[in-house]
Every structure is written in structure tokens, then in C-alpha cells.
Amino acid sequence: MAKKVTITLDDDVLVFIDKQATDNEGKANRSAFINKILKEAKKEYLEEELKLAYQRDTADKSYREEVALWDVVVGDGIE
């Protein structure tokens, strides 16, 4: 679901957005461009969070021991 919002941008930022958002027919779609940029930023943020979580898990001895216990039963055929 899309929501309509109002934001304030510096003039030079708006000029940049308009240049980047303009398609081959000269039509600008600011919303699509901003959505694309924010989705990319969100993806990068989530990837970094996941990386940090894996690093925390790797550093956690009790977590590694728990995983090792579960690894023993991986091949037991339980679906």
C-alpha cells in the first residue's frame, strides 16, 4: 500500500532527483525514483544488520554449542 507524504528537500537535491527521475520521454517520476533509492538503502541496512547478527552468533560460545547439538540431528530424516 502506498501512502502520500510531504517532505522538504534542498533545492539542489530536488534538481538532482528531477534529473535522475526523468525517463526517456522526458517525464519525471519522483516517487518511483525515491522509492527505488529508499528500497536499496533498506536492503543495504538489513544486509548489514544480518551480517552483524551472524558475527554476534559466531562470537557467542553457548550459541555455537547449541547449533552443534542440533547439527547432530540434521540427517535424521525429520521433515
pLDDT in tens, 3-59: 999 999 999 999 999 999 987 777 879 999 999 999 999 999 999 999 999 999 999
Interaxial angle between packed helices 61-71 and 30-59, expressed in degrees from 0 to 180 and rounded to the nearest 10: 90
Q: The whole model's pTM is what? A: 0.70
| pLDDT in the model for residue 13 | 96
Band of pLDDT at residue 79, cut at 50, 70 and 90: low
Predicted confidence (pLDDT) at residue 76 exceeds the cutoff of 90: no
Is residue 2 in a domain?
Answer: no
| pLDDT in the model for residue 71 | 86
Domain that holds residue 32: 11-72
Provide the domain count of the chain.
1
Is residue 57 in a domain?
Answer: yes
